[in-house]
Amino acid sequence: MGNNPQVAGDEQRAREELDFRVDVVGAGAAVTVISVEGQADLHTAPELRSAISGAIDDGASALVIDLSGATFIDSMTLGVLLGAVKRLRPEGGTVAVVCTDPHIRRIFEITLLDRVFSLHTDRDGALDHADGRA
């Protein structure tokens, strides 16, 4: 038996998914924080989408997506975040993003999504924006 690249890839993907976590803070409040840790990608996007949808369904009119614990994001993750904007903006809602990693911030800049999302270097700044104080 040799090394099977398919099995090795599946094992790596399973480890990455185990390292991924989404925490929701303030569920049911007007401003809800969703904290992302680990790799936010094609395989983990459904969990993030579910957390965002749940927060909006529970009455959040503003979201703070805290990516300070994220190690990677891909286009699927950006699509999930854009879906949140699409749901909230018609009702006057907002999505603020905490982004401390310069590489992840660069993804927002390259895609021009820094013009769509309010990007912040810390959670307090994002919360001030979400509360309408910034």
Residue 119 pLDDT exceeds 70: yes
For 74, residues 6+ apart whose C-beta sits below 8 A from its C-beta are 40, 41, 42
Residues 66-79: pLDDT tens digits?
Answer: 999 999 999 999 99
Give how many domains the chain has, as a whole number: 1
Q: Is 25 exposed, middle or buried (0-12, 13-18, 19+ CB in 10 A)?
A: middle
Residues 18-55: pLDDT tens digits?
Answer: 589 999 988 778 899 999 999 999 999 999 999 999 99
Residue 42: HSE in the Cβ half-sphere, 13 Å Cα cutoff: 1
For 81, residues 6+ apart whose C-beta sits below 8 A from its C-beta are 52, 65, 95, 97, 113, 117
Residue 16 pLDDT exceeds 70: no
Q: What is the mean pLDDT of residues 101-122?
A: 96
Q: 38: which 2 tokens? A: 């680990």
Which CATH number goes with the domain that contains 63? 3.30.750.24
**pTM score of the predicted model:** 0.85
User: Measuring CA to CA, how many Å separate 129 from each of 13, 17, 28, 30, 38?
Assistant: 35, 31, 19, 13, 25
What domain range includes position 50? 5-130
Query: How confident is the model at residue 29, as a pLDDT?
Result: 81
